[in-house]
Amino acid sequence: MTYVASDNRYDSMVYNRTGHSGLFLPAISLGLWHNFGGVDTFENGRAMLRRAFDLGITHFDLANNYGPPPGSAEEMFGKILQTDFKPYRDELIISTKAGYHMWDGPYGEWGSKKYLIASLDQSLKRMGLDYVDIYYSHRPDPDTPLEETMAALDQVVRQGKALYVGISSYSAEQTKEATRILNNLGTPLLIHQPSYSMLNRWIEEDGLQDVLEEEKVGSIAFCPLQQGLLTNKYMKGIPPQSRAAKETGALGEDQVTEQVIRKIQGLHEVAARRGQTLAQMALAWVLRNGKVTSALIGASKVSQIEDNVQAVRNLKFSQDELDEIDRILQD
């Protein structure tokens, strides 16, 4: 059946300006890190992408190595672009990244110009695109000069292969220097993609959030639900089919301790008083003070996306609520 997007897809989503650019991102974006690869069910991924767009999610975040196998998430997304989203391309923000291992040999990962430009060419081919909206350096390279990595990002914009550029998981100091280099090159840094959640506040402790605010750079937080920990899934321990039980990705059983479960239960009570699920409150908390442009969610089924987007209905916290959340997490 031919896909026709919902007429009211923009009615309830919140859109935030990214730094001091002209680009707005939805408060909730969808990442294709898991569940959109070659080993996953195509129709389930298709249903999630369609429903996300119908709910106002216009930003889809990928990387060259997403799958598994690596590259297959981009291939899957490329098929959906052709079959469903082609008429809506100009309504979409599509991002991809390069930095992790992608092919054999000395040019298959990290941050050299050789790798970053070759990887983007491969990503565009897999997705059937002439350009992506945002291209990221996925991680800082300790052995390649930052000037070379940033010059590669500048070059792909000048070549018309990307409209904007970003970085991911760079420290405050690295971000400040990357911003300076890109400004001098004439291609401003649009956005930073760090991990950030109620259980992971490194961007506050490192000073990264302050740097982004000073430099007027946007931010999009990945793992705002801490790989599912900040949902109702782990309220009573580790369910059999959960990510922690399968020991895949970064979440393992050793992270779901009794202490963590007690914190989750306490946060659930706060969320219930706010009229939200724990996931909705966790997303709202990340977006709470306007310093984060968008919260990047993952999903394995349509209902999770439908639940998550409801977070935008209540993004305000009282000081008492924030204090209580801090007490629970510091307990």
Q: Percentage of the chain with pLDDT > 90? A: 91
> Where are the extended beta strands (E) located within the chain?
15-17, 24-26, 28-31, 59-61, 93-98, 132-137, 162-168, 189-193, 218-222, 294-297
Residue 290 pLDDT level (bands cut at 50, 70, 90): very high
Q: Where are the domains of the chain?
A: 15-229+289-300
Amino acid 235: pLDDT = 73
Sorted by sequence, the CB contacts under 8 Å of residue 52 that are 6+ apart come out as 30, 60, 299, 305
What is the pLDDT of the chain when averaged over all its residues? 95
* pLDDT of 328 over the 80 cut: yes
Q: Measured between alpha carbons, how far is 129 from 127 in angstroms, rounded to an integer?
A: 5
| Closest to 161 measured CA to CA, from 169, 152, 149 | 152
Span 50-77, pLDDT tens digits: 999 999 999 999 999 999 999 999 999 9
Span 155-170, pLDDT tens digits: 999 999 999 999 999 9
Sorted by sequence, the CB contacts under 8 Å of residue 2 that are 6+ apart come out as none
> 84-92 contacts: CB < 8 A, separation 24 or more?
84/3, 84/46, 84/49, 84/50, 85/3, 85/49, 85/53, 88/5, 88/53, 91/58, 92/53, 92/58, 92/59, 92/60, 92/133
Q: Which fold has domain 15-229+289-300?
A: TIM Barrel (3.20.20)
Span 238-256, pLDDT tens digits: 665 555 555 555 555 567 8
Span 123-176, pLDDT tens digits: 999 999 999 999 999 999 999 999 999 999 999 999 999 999 999 999 999 999
What pairing do the DSSP bridges indicate for beta strands 15-17 and 24-26? antiparallel
Beta bridge partners of 218: 191
